[in-house]
């Protein structure tokens, strides 16, 4: 394996994050490459395991960018290959266990709650009856999310009197339902790069309750209180993520709720409201653990 760091970005070619990371690697004189998820391969030999394609065999550190959908067999195999890469001495950010926990909203909320962290009342539902019973118990309205998803896709409000079921339940047969939190149309994303926090306020568009940037939410500079940063760190530690996007929602009664921990966080919107180069901070974290 090379002595100097060799970086592999695991994800799609092109795009703002990948291009920015490759540019920063070039500026630092770091060897870098991009490998797509469908390209991941492994060959088991008596002498040890080899990884394909070639850049993956020669890499010292792998940064996971994006988590594409796939069959159950594809998802399990890809996570197993990441685990074998880590076992073979390659730095993997984030670890497969963190990715598996964070991407599964039911599992992550359950673990956060078990750690004593403030998460909304939550139920996993597999039928119309389950969803209606939970919605009625929450006062007639529930927030519904797909178990696997990001950027607010599939996120909707469900009324106990609705005649149509939400899309996640219809298409996958299972969904996550949560009690709505009364808020003022904004939440906070805290990005943790190791121990270094970056924060922004996300303000929903007029008439829109979802604050996700992909749903039109607008980023604003934000100085997170120390206890909010501490809460984000506890959440990231619980999930096992060194690089984590933690979403916090302040309610109208003054409480702060933990909504989600993202183990493959983006930072393009956040970069637009901070002067610190986040991509360089990510590379610092990645390289520090690979030498």
Residues 111 and 205 in one domain: yes
Provide the token pair at 48.
């040890």
The winner for highest mean pLDDT among 3-17, 39-53, 186-200 is 186-200
CATH number at residue 241: 3.30.470.20
Decide: helix, strand or coil at residue 100. helix
Residues 87 and 34 in one domain: yes
What is the rounded CA–CA span in Å between residue 229 and residue 167?
A: 34
- The pTM of the full predicted model, rounded to 2 decimals, is 0.92
Give the CA diameter of the chain: 63
Residue-range definition of the domain harbouring residue 248: 101-118+182-275
Averaged confidence pLDDT in the chain: 92
Residues 170 and 134 in one domain: yes
Tens of pLDDT along 187-225? 999 999 999 999 999 999 988 888 888 888 999 999 999
Do the beta carbons of residue 198 and residue 191 sit within 8 Å? Answer: yes
Residues in CB range of 69: below 8 A, 6 or more apart: 148
Do the beta carbons of residue 191 and residue 278 sit within 8 Å? Answer: yes
Question: What number is the average pLDDT over the span 36-42?
Answer: 92
Residues 145 and 72 in one domain: no
Residues in CB range of 291: below 8 A, 6 or more apart: 5, 60
Tell me what pLDDT residue 2 has. Answer: 41
Tens of pLDDT along 232-268? 999 999 999 999 999 999 999 999 999 999 999 999 9
Question: What number is the average pLDDT over the span 29-54?
Answer: 91
- Percentage of the residues of the chain whose pLDDT score is greater than 70: 96
Residues 211 and 188 in one domain: yes
CATH number at residue 144: 3.30.1490
Tell me what pLDDT residue 152 has. Answer: 64
Which class for 28: exposed (0-12), middle (13-18), buried (19 or more C-beta within 10 A)? middle
What is the rounded CA–CA span in Å between residue 32 and residue 6?
A: 6
Provide the token pair at 101.
């926990």
Residues 146 and 258 in one domain: no
Give the pLDDT band (50/70/90) at residue 4: low
Q: Provide Rg for the chain, Cα atoms.
A: 20
């Amino acid at each position: 394996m090379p002595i100097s760091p060799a970086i592999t970005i695991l994800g799609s070619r092109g795009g703002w994050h990948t291009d920015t990371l490759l540019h920063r690697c070039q500026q630092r004189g770091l060897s870098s490459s991009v490998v797509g998820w469908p390209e991941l391969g492994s060959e088991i030999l008596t002498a040890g395991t080899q990884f394909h394609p070639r850049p993956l065999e020669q890499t010292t550190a792998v940064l996971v960018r994006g988590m594409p959908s796939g069959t159950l067999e594809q998802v399990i195999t890809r996570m197993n290959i990441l685990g074998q890469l880590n076992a073979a001495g390659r730095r993997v950010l984030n670890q497969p266990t963190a990715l598996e926990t964070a991407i599964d909203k039911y599992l992550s909320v359950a673990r956060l709650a078990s750690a004593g962290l403030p998460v909304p009342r939550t139920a996993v539902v597999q039928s119309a009856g389950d969803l209606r019973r939970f919605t009625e118990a929450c006062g007639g309205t529930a927030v519904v999310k797909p178990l696997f998803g990001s950027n607010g896709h599939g996120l909707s409000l469900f009324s106990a009197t609705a005649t149509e079921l939400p899309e996640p339940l219809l298409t996958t047969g299972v969904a996550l339902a949560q009690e709505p939190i009364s808020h003022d149309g904004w939440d906070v994303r805290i990005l943790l790069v190791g121990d270094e926090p970056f924060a922004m306020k996300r303000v929903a568009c007029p008439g829109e309750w979802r604050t996700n940037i992909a749903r039109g939410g607008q980023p604003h500079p934000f100085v997170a209180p120390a206890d909010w940063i501490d809460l984000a760190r506890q959440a990231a530690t619980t999930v096992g993520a060194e690089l984590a996007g933690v979403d916090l929602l302040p309610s109208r009664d003054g409480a702060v709720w933990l909504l989600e921990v993202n183990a493959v966080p983006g930072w393009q919107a956040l970069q637009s409201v901070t002067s610190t180069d986040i991509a360089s901070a990510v590379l610092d974290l990645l390289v520090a653990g690979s030498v």
